[in-house]
Amino acid sequence: MNSRREFLQKLTASAMAFSILPEFENEITKYNNDQPYDGPVLRVAIMGLGSYGTRVAEAMQSCKMAKLTGVISGTPDKIKNWQTKYNIPEKNCYNYENFDSIKDNPDIDAVYVITPNALHHGQVIRVAKAGKHAICEKPMALNAKEGAEMVEACKKANVKLLVGYRMHFEPKTLEIIRMRNAGELGKVLFFQGLCGFRIGDPTQWRLNKQLAGGGSMMDIGIYAVNGSRYMIGEDPVWVTAQETKTDPIKFKEGVDETIQFQLGFPGGAVASCLSTYIMNNLDRFFLNGEKGFAELQPSTGYGPIKGRTNKGELDFPHVTHQTVQMDEMAAIILQGKQPVVPVDGEEGWKDMKIIDAIFLAAKTGKKTAIKW
């Protein structure tokens, strides 16, 4: 398997969609009805026309508040194909050298950066300087320093910076968060996040430190990092970590194969997580409290997500994650909507700060404090 995205797609491809419960009143159900929408629409250019960019583009065809209006790519053939498929005019097509001129294009309000990790920093800053809102795929940068610079650049340009946390809008995930906030699980004690798959092609950019910034942790591992935070509802204050490498040829210096890490939270909860590029069948979140528990398995795949708690199965309708994400992000940008779980640049920066600490703890073998 060549990428996290292929893994996530195949992991849940055979799962059956869940029936819609009549009592389900979550706002996400609006994507299942035929109510017309005649408000403002966020016009989006996608930067990076690879497999995930294609997935987002396809999902956006069902959006009500977001529309694909432009493309940015270094591959002319891809641009031509997208022009034909999505009816994108020539004037809305750019390459990586000239996309700064989007500043003069009223057809584009925001750019979704879906390129290798190492490119996010510079590209988001250029988007901000062009006066456009930036949506950046996760991880947002190579480290917390870059993330902070991206946040500052967008603030300075008075544009929004959002990060592609699609799970922050997923209904079963949001139901667990609601239960936790309502006290139905009691005091949160423990979280486990298992994220991994066997990566394929050894020449791909995800195994190139210069482009990826690491290995599994900068790809599939960020789900466990971010998931620990939104499931527990706090930011960790310490981390310990251990790295294991069984194939130093495929996983060269600076490219992690497997990292186990433990997080401590101010309320007393602890998390035990695994990020790996060498094991399949790992996509599980488990949250334990004094009064109950919640489990998601699959927890971060493209869906349907499966979940249960001490009260029984979670049975909410599945809607394509990227469709919901882009409509919700449009509402954030256009209407100032506040999501249940943040998806802004500061949220992405927090994950980078934790990942920096994980790498340091794995290198030194010491418990590392995380100061906010």
CA distance linking residue 261 with residue 146, whole number of Å:
23
106: buried, middle or exposed (CB in 10 Å: 19+, 13-18, 0-12)?
exposed
- Which residue spans within the chain are E strands per DSSP? 42-47, 66-72, 93-94, 110-113, 133-136, 161-163, 188-196, 238-244, 258-264, 270-276, 282-289, 293-296, 307-309, 312-314, 368-369
Q: What sign has the CA pseudo-torsion 350, 353, 359, 360?
A: negative
Peptide bond into 304 cis (omega under 30): yes
293-296 and 282-289: which strand pairing?
antiparallel
Dmax of the chain from CA atoms? 59
CA 94 to chain centre: 25
- Which of 366, 357, 355 is closest to 217 using CA atoms? 355
Q: Which residue is catalytic, options 94, 112, 132, 138?
A: 138
Residue with tokens 């310490």: 238
138: buried, middle or exposed (CB in 10 Å: 19+, 13-18, 0-12)?
buried
Please confirm, yes or no, whether 138 is among the known catalytic residues. yes
Q: Which residue is catalytic, options 94, 112, 223, 277?
A: 223
Contacts of 207 (CB under 8 A, 6+ apart): 199, 215, 250, 251, 252, 255, 277
- DSSP character at residue 17: P
Please confirm, yes or no, whether 353 is among the known catalytic residues. no
Which residue numbers are catalytic?
Answer: 138, 223
